[in-house]
Every structure is written in C-alpha cells, then in structure tokens.
Amino acid sequence: MLEYIKNGALLGWLINRKKREVEVYRPQQEVEILVNPESVYGGNILPGFILDLETIW
C-alpha cells in the first residue's frame, strides 16, 4: 500500500478479513489501524463514499 501512496494515491485501505482490521494509508501520516469497524469513510478524498464492512466480515 505504501507503494501506491508513494505514487500519488491520497487514500488506501488494506482490509484484513481474518483479523477484522482495516489499515488506513494517507500521504505523510502514520498508518491508522481500525479494529472491527462497521464501515470506512472516504473523507475529503471521496466525499460521501461509505464502504459498509458488515457484509465483508
């Protein structure tokens, strides 16, 4: 995921179904780890976008 950020991506989500975790990648920020979130939001990069994770878990 860091490669994507290095090449210009502004937001990346790495979803680990087994651990029920989402790693959130943003340029020049530490990786944020969300444990068992119900959903993730696109924030100002993808305004209005919500990924419902209930169907994935």
Per-residue pLDDT of the chain (57 residues; tens, 9 = 90+): 999 999 999 999 999 999 999 999 999 999 999 999 999 999 999 999 999 999 899
What are residue 20's phi and psi, to 5 degrees?
A: 55, 50
| Beta strands 50-52; 39-41: pairing state | antiparallel
Q: Where are the domains of the chain?
A: 2-52
pTM: 0.89
- If 0-12 CB within 10 Å is exposed, 13-18 middle and 19+ buried, where does residue 21 land? middle
d(CA 45, CA 43): 5
d(CA 48, CA 44): 9
